C-alpha cells in the first residue's frame, strides 16, 4: 500500500529524534504531523477496502512510531472511528 511506504520513509525522522533523545511531546508532534496525516488522507476513502494484511502493516508502522515516540498511538481502526465521528458531527452542525 502506498500510504505504508510513505509512512515508513517518514519514520526516519522519528528514528533520528529518538536517537538524539528529543522530548516526547516533540516526537508526538512529529508523528502527528508527518506520519498520521498520511493515513488520515487515505483513510476516508480506502479503509473499507483494506485487507487484514494491509491493516496489520499500517498498525506495525504505528507501533514502531509509538516506540520511537515514547508513547502508544491509536490503532488505525481507532483513528478511523475518530475521523468518522468528527465528520458526522460537522455534518450535523451544518444542518
Q: Identify which of 7, 4, 9 has the alpha carbon closest to the alpha carbon of residue 46.
A: 4
Q: Which residue in the block uniquely carries the three cell numbers 498520521?
A: 36
- For the chain, domain boundaries: 2-94
The pLDDT tens digits for 13-53 are: 999 999 999 999 999 999 999 998 888 888 877 888 889 99
Determine contact, residues 14/30, Cβ cutoff 8 Å: yes
Angle formed at CA 79 by CA 52 and CA 37, multiple of 5 degrees: 100
pTM (predicted TM-score): 0.84
The whole-number average pLDDT for the span 68-90 is: 89
Amino acid at each position: 500500500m502506498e500510504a505504508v511506504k510513505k509512512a515508513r520513509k517518514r519514520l526516519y525522522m522519528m528514528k533520528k529524534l529518538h536517537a538524539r533523545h528529543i522530548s516526547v511531546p516533540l516526537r508526538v508532534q512529529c508523528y502527528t504531523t508527518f506520519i498520521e496525516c498520511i493515513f488520515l488522507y487515505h483513510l476516508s476513502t480506502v479503509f473499507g477496502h483494506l485487507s487484514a494484511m494491509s491493516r496489520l502493516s499500517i498498525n506495525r508502522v504505528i507501533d514502531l512510531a509509538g516506540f520511537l515516540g515514547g508513547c502508544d498511538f491509536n490503532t488505525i481502526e481507532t483513528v478511523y472511528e475518530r475521523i468518522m465521528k468528527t465528520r458526522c458531527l460537522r455534518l450535523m452542525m451544518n444542518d
